[in-house]
């Protein structure tokens, strides 16, 4: 069975538009998230952190790394 080794929280923020009218995304990454942290708790933290950002929050992602050897 695969064991989770690491978890990262990523906030995707609205970076506006570029000169071609395409949406630009900005990212804030938070590494070393506790692997046993619940998604709902991380979502609450992400929303709290987003209030400290200058740009609007678009999406919250959790990236998990597993040892599958």
Each residue's pLDDT tens digit, 16-56: 999 999 999 999 999 999 999 999 999 999 999 999 999 99
The confidence score (pLDDT) of residue 3 equals 87
For the whole model, what pTM was predicted? 0.84
The confidence score (pLDDT) of residue 1 equals 73
The confidence score (pLDDT) of residue 33 equals 96
The confidence score (pLDDT) of residue 20 equals 97
Residues sharing a CB contact under 8 Å with residue 31, sequence separation 6 or more, in sequence order:
6, 8
């Amino acid at each position: 069975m695969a064991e989770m080794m690491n978890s990262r929280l990523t906030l995707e923020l609205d970076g506006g538009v570029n000169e071609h009218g395409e949406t630009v995304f900005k990212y804030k990454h938070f590494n070393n998230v506790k692997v046993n942290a619940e998604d709902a708790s991380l979502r609450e933290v992400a929303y709290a952190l987003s209030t400290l950002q200058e740009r609007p929050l678009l999406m919250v992602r959790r990236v998990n790394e597993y040892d599958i050897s």
